[in-house]
Amino acid sequence: MKRHTSCVLPVSLSLAILSLPLAASPGEPTAEELLRRYDQVMSPKTFDALMTMTAHRQDGSERSYKFRALKSEDDKIRTWFFEPAAAKGQEMLRVGDNMWVYMPNLKRAMRLASRESFQGGDFNNGDVLRVNYVADYTAKRETAEDPKLWLLDLTAKSKEAAYDRIKLWLSKDKQQPAKAEYYAASGKLLRSAVFEDVKNFHGHERPSHITMRNELATKRWSEMTMLDMKLDIAIPAQRFVLDDLGR
């Protein structure tokens, strides 16, 4: 009698195959292309932007900030705060891996960390001052439950990145960010974000509103709104020198 044998993959091998990143089909964007697209949308090469951030706190109180952000071609960013009165005159600067905040009452700049809270809200400094995911993360594509979305799994290349791991969803039609989850190295979910209300700012389309929810203190959340954004701005190099803060 002829024996029929079946080939059964070991469980460990099956799991390993399932965990492999998805290869892009012909005509589909690769993980690296989607990551580059995110950077282009959220942090163009140069810009001059006017933004607000409102932090909703655990006790039900809230505080709003209004600020201007400038970005240079060599990925340097500087911000000026106008509101509230307590923050008026404060400035932030990022050059490479270094960040500072200028305190007008002290007339000096102090160092900041990428993962520290941005003005006491639920965004961190890296969310605002360090949007360079191509440089900071390794990306692989995964299968999204929603067929209208691409899903990326991002792993930090260094501790200077804003988070250790990010799950990022982008729309397939316009490749705009839709939502994200931000994790610690332990795998604990720290924050979740929703990107909404795509607007055209002088020819550049991007979400104008981001809601960041604190998954550790669930009554806390913050929202960032883009009021205006101009691209291809010529900015003097002096604007991104530490000694220029406060002038």
Regarding pTM above 0.75, the answer is yes
Dihedral of alpha carbons 43, 47, 52, 57, sign: positive
Q: What architecture is the 29-244 domain classified under in CATH?
A: Clam (2.50)
Instruction: Render pLDDT for 38-51 as a digit per residue (tens, 0 to 9).
Output: 999 999 999 999 99
Q: What percent of the chain has pLDDT over 90?
A: 85
- Listed by start position, the domains of the chain span 29-244
Pick the more confident residue, 165 or 75: 165
Q: In the predicted model, is pLDDT for residue 75 greater than 60? A: yes
200 and 190 in contact (C-beta within 8 Å)?
Answer: no
- Model confidence band, residue 23 (pLDDT cutoffs 50, 70, 90): low
Instruction: Render pLDDT for 123-152 as a digit per residue (tens, 0 to 9).
Output: 999 999 999 999 999 999 999 999 999 999
pLDDT at 117: 96
